[in-house]
Amino acid sequence: MLMPKAAWIVVADGEKAMVLENVGTPVAPKLSVIARDEAGPVIGASDRAGRMADGGPNQRSALEQPDFARLNSERFVGDLIEMLDHKLRGAAFDTLILVAPPQMLGALRNAMEDTLRACVVAEIDKTLTNHPLPKITEIVAAEIALI
């Protein structure tokens, strides 16, 4: 398979995402950045777990410490999918390629509605968010060729 012209490529991990578009040809892809996003700082983290009153006199129980990093990542995935849904409804793209670590691919897949999921033509389980754009182009093109 070749990378379709005008295909959108989402390169993401739990903290960063880039939305790219193939402005080249299927034979000679050239990726252009459409959007970049980073998750905000982890909100609500504290040193101690919370406490709650029990039924007896002067009794208190500890509450489990929330996993703020996971909650932040879930919010980030939701925002990314919401943006993609909005752009799909505006006919900005019709072909989508996802590039992310396996856990992130699963989170993206689970958050997608059927209309967006139908646009996905390939999933690549790699972490490429810290790679330069030419290297991302090379790796994605090579992986797509294997499909």
Would you state the pLDDT for residue 38?
85
Would you state the pLDDT for residue 47?
55
For the stretch 45-56, pLDDT in tens is: 555 556 566 666
Would you state the pLDDT for residue 139?
96
pLDDT at 113 over 90: yes
Residue that wins the pLDDT comparison between 96 and 47: 96
Stretch 109-134: mean pLDDT: 96
Structure tokens belonging to residue 95:
């072909």
Fold of 8-40+52-146: Nucleotidyltransferase; domain 5 (3.30.420)
Stretch 70-85: mean pLDDT: 86
The residue among 25, 28, 1, 12 whose CA lies nearest residue 102 is 12
Domain boundaries, the chain: 8-40+52-146
Task: Please tell me whether residue 115 adopts helix, strand or coil conformation.
Answer: helix
Would you state the pLDDT for residue 146?
85
pLDDT at 11 over 60: yes
